[in-house]
């Protein structure tokens, strides 16, 4: 199992409440969700717009009304469509919520293979897919349960999540392993290193060496797995950290820039404007007035 820095630090589940719900708005709140992984399942319901979701080394384009189910430990990222706002609900829930701690045949034969990656989930569920209407209705009920947020609704939530898995399996949405994951696993060491050291100077040569690949092969694998180049991904990590610091602290903008890996304030301002659409000063003012 992966156990290093690409693993998301946010705690999504506890023993008491084994899930978390997020409403994600891009680029209104943040420009994207960088490549990461966690030990929970993630159910995504696209409410508005169109986005690119990179999951397990494959790109899935999803639009309003479509669904994604990301299994535990799969590297994944989300980007809004060009010129569009992407709004989606995300439920990140522990495998325990599906009974992963029990030893019955259902768990052993149906749930654990998904957790361990022995089978491949058809991650993106589109409107033309078999079972789509049933899966959409079940997803809508799932998010109603989450929003009501009570122990009683958790009882219904458990049954609806299991129903979602059952429909997916019944309609052929749980498959044998498919291609695409090789590149994702090959560059995982580089992604882990970048997540831990993005504030430092990082070269493509260093990342390629960590992945035991030649520079050119690493660059091809990285783009195929992540959807963007390594330097672009590094820039996204730095800008995202800067956005968080601008909202959560009173540090000088120059100090934030240097702390996030930029040795030149002008370059930071230029990159920030390009990726976020406003200056760091404007971004801080806008988000502190909300």
pLDDT in tens, 102-142: 889 999 889 988 888 888 888 999 999 999 999 999 999 99
Q: Are strands 76-80 and 50-55 parallel, antiparallel or unpaired?
A: antiparallel
Q: How many CB atoms lie within 10 A of CB 54?
A: 22
Residue among 169, 230, 251 at smallest CA distance from 34: 230
15-65 pLDDT, tens digit each: 889 999 999 999 888 889 999 999 999 999 999 999 999 998 889 999 999
Q: What is the pLDDT of residue 1?
A: 39
Least confident of 35-49, 154-168, 191-205, 275-289: 275-289
In angstroms, the CA 52 to CA 219 distance is 20
pLDDT of residue 11: 67
Between CA 267 and CA 223 the distance in angstroms is: 24
- Ranges in the chain annotated CATH 2.60.120.280: 19-175
d(CA 223, CA 202): 17
Return d(Cα 9, Cα 275) in angstroms, integer: 24
Average pLDDT over residues 233-242: 93
pLDDT of residue 72: 93
Q: Report residue 8's pLDDT band, with 50, 70 and 90 as the boundaries.
A: low
Query: Could you read off the pLDDT of 167-189 as tens digits, one per residue?
Result: 999 998 887 544 445 777 889 89
* Residue intervals in the chain for CATH 1.10.10.60: 182-288
The pLDDT value recorded for residue 9 is 57
Please give the pLDDT value at position 140: 98
Residue 76, beta-bridge partner list:
36, 55
**Number of H helices and number of E strands within the chain?**
12, 11
Top-tier CATH class for 182-288:
mainly alpha
What share of the chain has pLDDT > 90, as a percent?
69
Question: Is it the case that residue 3 has pLDDT exceeding 70?
Answer: no
How would you class 152 by CB atoms within 10 Å of its CB: exposed for 0-12, middle for 13-18, buried for 19 or more? exposed
Q: In CATH, which of 3.40.50.1980, 3.55.40.20, 2.40.110.10, 2.60.120.280 is domain 19-175?
A: 2.60.120.280
Which residues contact residue 172 at a Cβ distance below 8 angstroms, ignoring those fewer than 6 apart?
A: 122, 130
What number is the average pLDDT over the span 82-96?
A: 94
79 class by beta-carbon count within 10 Å (0-12 exposed, 13-18 middle, 19+ buried)? buried
Q: Which whole number is the average pLDDT over 239-244? A: 92
pLDDT of residue 12: 72
Q: Which stretch of 2-11, 181-190, 229-238 has the lowest confidence by average pLDDT?
A: 2-11
3-class secondary structure, 85:
coil
Rounded Cα distance, 185 and 147, in Å? 35
pLDDT score of 14: 83
Q: What mean pLDDT, rounded, does the chain reach? A: 90
């Amino acid at each position: 199992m992966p156990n290093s820095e690409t693993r998301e630090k946010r705690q999504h589940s506890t023993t008491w409440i084994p899930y978390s719900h997020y409403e994600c708005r891009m680029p209104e709140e943040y420009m994207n969700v960088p490549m990461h992984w966690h030990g929970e399942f993630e159910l995504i319901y696209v409410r508005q717009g169109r986005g690119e979701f990179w999951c397990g080394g494959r790109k899935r384009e999803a639009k309003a009304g479509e669904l994604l189910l990301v299994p535990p430990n799969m590297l994944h990222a989300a980007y809004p469509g060009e010129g569009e706002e992407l709004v989606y609900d995300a439920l990140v829930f522990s495998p325990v919520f599906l009974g992963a701690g029990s030893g019955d045949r259902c768990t052993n034969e149906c749930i654990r293979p998904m957790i361990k990656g022995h089978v491949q989930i058809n991650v993106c569920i589109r409107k033309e897919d078999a079972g789509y209407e049933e899966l959409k209705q079940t997803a809508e009920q799932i998010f109603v349960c989450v929003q009501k947020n009570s122990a009683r609704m958790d009882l219904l939530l458990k049954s609806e999540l299991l129903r979602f898995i059952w429909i997916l399996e019944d309609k052929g949405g749980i498959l044998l392993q498919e291609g695409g994951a090789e590149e994702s696993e090959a560059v995982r060491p580089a992604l882990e290193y970048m997540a831990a050291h993005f504030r430092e100077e990082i070269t493509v040569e260093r990342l390629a060496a960590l992945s035991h690949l030649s520079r050119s092969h690493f660059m091809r694998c990285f783009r195929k797995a992540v959807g963007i180049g390594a330097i672009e991904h590094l820039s996204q990590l730095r800008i995202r950290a800067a956005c968080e610091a601008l909202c959560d602290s009173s540090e000088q903008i120059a100090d934030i820039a240097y702390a996030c890996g930029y040795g030149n304030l002008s370059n930071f301002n230029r990159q920030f404007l390009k990726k976020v659409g406003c200056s760091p000063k404007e971004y801080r003012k806008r988000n502190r007035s909300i």
